[in-house]
Amino acid sequence: MPSLRGHMVFLVKLRQELEKTMPEVGRAVAQEWPAALLGCEAPDSHFFTEQHRPDLHMLDQKDPGTWPGAVERWLEAHPELAPGRNQPAATVAFVVGYLSHIGLDTWAEQYLSPEYPAAAREGMPAAWYPAELRENARRRAALQRMAEEPVGEEYQVEAAALRRAPVPQGFREEPIKTIATGILPALGVTDAWQQSRVQPLPGRVVRPDTPDERAKWEEERKDRPRASDEDYRALLRGALDFTVEKIRRWWG
């Protein structure tokens, strides 16, 4: 499953893609970047409420029958947010952020799973099913590489900017801002060990920042497969193509 930081890194990639392929959307996301960052963590705000993951992701991970059409169901549940071209820039940014999260989750976790209903795959673009990532271990490695990738200063913001950013009516502002500001410090960190120590979710243990603990952490990771450049490009190509297609349909 993509990490909280990984979702922010993917949003950076999506913003770059939209600036080229959907410039009007890309400009809104850049203009209201804090709102986009809030949106991209909003689906996981259930950790701070009585809600459950399916309430905000629109699918049940244990029920493949709920996997097809999850993004579309989320859009149908929020008709006030469509069409995107009629929304203010801050709302556009938030929705793009939200779609980046459920788009990446749905594509990486469900669409590439062997349990995904075969009939639902018919007619879908080949880029959504890269052969390189059919193996779960290779897909996990590519997601980890993305989650740990350094992010340029132009995409980093202060927590105060997130707290000031608007959240569309109908969404729970406080838990969304809690999770987004909680993971935000990791975005500007380049060291993967230090990134791993930013843990805003309830009940998660933060390992002590000591040489011994770091050595243990590195030992635990040393046998994990590393993503090749080819696999990483396939991940970005598939996830971006999938998510941009959903954004186009919402934009109208």
- End-to-end CA gap in the chain: 30
Stated length of the chain: 252
Q: How many CB atoms lie within 10 A of CB 166?
A: 15
Whether residue 178 is predicted with pLDDT greater than 90 in this model: the reply is: yes
> What are the Cα distances from residue 33, in Å, to 153, 162, 169, 244?
13, 9, 18, 17
Q: What percent of the chain has pLDDT over 70?
A: 100
Please give the pLDDT value at position 112. 81
Q: pLDDT tens across 140-160, in order? A: 999 999 999 999 999 999 999
Taking residues 188-199, what's their average pLDDT?
97
Give the pair of three-digit tokens for residue 90: 């801050």
pLDDT confidence band for 231 (50 / 70 / 90)? very high
Could you state, in order of their start, the residue ranges of all structural domains in the chain? 4-251
For residues 61 and 172, the model is more confident at: 172
Please give the pLDDT value at position 192. 98
Whether residue 111 is predicted with pLDDT greater than 80 in this model: the reply is: no
Taking residues 97-111, what's their average pLDDT?
91
Taking residues 174-184, what's their average pLDDT?
97
Q: What is the pTM of this model?
A: 0.95
Taking residues 229-236, what's their average pLDDT?
96
For residues 70 and 33, the model is more confident at: 33
Whether residue 85 is predicted with pLDDT greater than 80 in this model: the reply is: yes
pLDDT confidence band for 77 (50 / 70 / 90)? very high
CA nearest 40: which of 82, 106, 102, 91? 102
